[in-house]
Structure 1
Amino acid sequence: LMACAKVISQFELLGPGDAGRRREWSDEEKIRIVEESFRGHRQGSATARRHGISRSLLTLWRRAYRENRLVASPEGFMAVSIAPGPVAGPESGTDADARIEIVLANGRRILVPAGIDPGSLARLLPVLERA
């Protein structure tokens, strides 16, 4: 008689509730993980393992971080400072020509018309921060 060999392999069966196993990371979390990966020598792989992400994903996040594409709290409040502007002289235009200078967190400066719609400006600023 021939002996019957039985092979048992281990595998995981995913149910319908497990379909969304991908984790969504906020920009704040990505920034924290990337900055952690920069500390010390050869910390990238260890950091990726510690957070359960692939080394290649961490590499993508690091590139986005260096290119200022990771923005912490893009839809939250932004720091604003008001500085005295130049004194209006006779050569100045009307109020319709008034401009507001905005310094973004990434260091860029933009000039916008003083009468800009606040809603439009609120949609514009996060885009300019990421650009």
Structure 2
Amino acid sequence: MARMEIISGVERRRRWSKEAKLAILAEADERGVRISDVARRHDIFPAQIRLWRKTLSRFDAPASFLPVHLVDEVGLGQTPAVPATPVLIKILLRNGRCLKVPADIERKTLSSLIACVEAA
């Protein structure tokens, strides 16, 4: 005979204490244990265990500090010169040829260039 569960009334969201969450996480972290088996035993979804693992590990991580070096005010606001890579535009012409030109090319130069390549 199959087991049947009848739920009457409004289903409520369960609240888990931090200790209960940590106990379930410890059980899921044991070697050779599958998360889906632990979730099934506690009647929760495996994604819930993964979410608890993610959120609780974020709060239990020890604080870390990075070294700070003071610099002169002269160097502030100045960024090192980084060579910018030019932005190229690819234009496919009617005769099947392709033309790659910089994005900041002048309109007059571009039109004469296209006319020369199409005529060739």
TM-score between the two structures when normalised by the length of structure 1: 0.38
Larger Rg: 2
TM-score between the two structures when normalised by the length of structure 2: 0.42
Tell me which of the two structures has the higher relative contact order, counting C-alpha pairs closer than 8 angstroms and 6 or more residues apart.
1
